[in-house]
Amino acid sequence: MKPTENEVVRKLLHTMHLPRPTAGLALGPGDDAALLAPRPGYQSILTCDWFLEGTHFLRDKHPADSIGWKCLARAVSDVAAMGGRPRGFLLSLALPVSCTGRWLVDFGGGLRRACVELGCPLAGGDTTQRDEILINVAVVGEVRTGKALTRSGAQPGDAIFVSGRLGEAERGLELLRRMRQVRGSDRALRKHLYPEPRLALGQWLSEHRMATAIMDLSDGLSTDLPRLCAASGVGARIQAASLPAVSPIAHANSGKGSRSKTAQRNTSELAWNSKAIELALNGGDDYELLFTVRPYKARRLPTRIGRIPITRIGEITRERKLLLVQADGSEQSLKEGGWNPFAAKSR
């Protein structure tokens, strides 16, 4: 027998062990809308993200638990890119009837972990039936008034930094596509299945007034950097050899094996690997932070902030061009090769 909408909602809330109303919210799920009490001296951050079967994930490949984690983590990443903290989220979920059983329980488990680890309770949402799994997450966050970080403040001469490693999620996706049986615990898949928004780093950069411009890398550096530059009215020169790239995975069915090989290679070797450079430039879904820092401050930046490595990859230029400097010193224009949903069919 087909469940009612009320039953699907009750099952999800039960799976997530949610009290009503959720702590931290004046009114949580169950009414026409949720109520959140903003703190004095703070602005609200608003952001939303699609997460769609066939476009952003594959039902037969991606574990439901990972879909639950990632739909929230990627939306929260935009809050990190503003230097803020998440306060709550709305979940819009459209499901086939066949996903209202075990799938929903696993999905709710991953979502619940993300709620707890990211400090972002479920405030409400909307549920309906659909042949494909459609997810939309809207997050409300907060940032102290005047402390929000935007894309538009980069100035010529600023140093450009990225957090973490670039291309790791795309490498995971390439591996996952070739796997018969996906294990969520596979370490080579972790960045793709369970990305971690850089909340602490974003807050550190905001509190220390360190970043002139910032955004999160969701579509790939070669597509996202032009957006930051356009918002700031500047250009950029990127050093290919400086990119914190990863090794491509050589063998289709052995994440672990290829990872231990990876560990044996050294960083300079990786930087020369054209596949790794391509992944770093064009790979999507990393949810690392891209930010710019005034040169006199850049010299004092540590190589890690918290536990997250940060790497200087180039500088902002007055001329509104995007250039990639190869290891031999030759320059070429940086082509947008990241994720464009109106060109690609699926991630």
Binding residues among 4-33 for a copy of itself as defined by CB under 8 A: 4-8, 26-27, 30-33
The secondary element (H helix, E strand) that includes residue 241 is none
Among 88, 121, 172, 255, contact with a copy of itself (rule: CB under 8 A): 88
Q: Which of 244, 230, 242, 238 minimizes the C-alpha distance to 334? A: 238
Query: Taking the complex as a whole, how short is the minimal distance between the CB of residue 326 and a copy of itself, in angstroms?
Result: 26
Query: Interacting stretch for a copy of itself, rule CB under 8 A, among 57-65, 260-268, 305-313, 338-346?
Result: 338-346
Whichever of 21 and 255 has its CB closer to a copy of itself, that residue is 21
What part of residues 188-227 is at the interface with a copy of itself (CB under 8 A)? 214-216, 227
Cβ neighbours of 333 (radius 10 Å): 8
Q: Is 134 in the site for a copy of itself (CB under 8 A)?
A: yes
The window from 134-142, 248-256, 268-276, 307-315 that contacts a copy of itself (CB under 8 A) reads 134-142
> With binding defined as CB under 8 A, does residue 162 bind a copy of itself?
no
Token representation of residue 148: 């929000």
Count residues binding a copy of itself (CB under 8 A): 72
Which one of 90-98, 174-182, 255-263, 321-329 is the stretch in contact with a copy of itself (CB under 8 A)? 90-98
Q: How far apart are CA 337 and CA 335, in angstroms?
A: 6
| Buried/exposed 278-314: b ≥16 CB within 10 Å, e otherwise | bbbbbbbbbbbbbbbbbeeebeebeeebeeeebbbbb
Of 100, 101, 77, the closest CA to residue 194 belongs to 77
Q: Out of 64, 72, 73, 94, name the contact with a copy of itself by CB under 8 A.
A: 94
Among positions 318-337, residues that touch a copy of itself (CB under 8 A) are 336
Task: Rank residues 32 and 328 by Cβ distance to a copy of itself and give the closer one.
Answer: 32
For the bound state, the minimum distance from the C-beta of residue 227 to a copy of itself, rounded and expressed in Å, comes to 7
What distances in angstroms separate CA 76 from CA 50, 112, 151, 168, one per listed residue? Answer: 12, 14, 17, 19
Find, among 209, 345, 326, 339, the residue nearest to 284 by Cα: 339
Q: Which stretch binds a copy of itself (CB under 8 A): 91-99, 111-119, 293-301, 307-315?
A: 91-99
Burial 12-35 (b: 16+ CB within 10 A, else e): bbebbebeebbeebebbbeeeebe
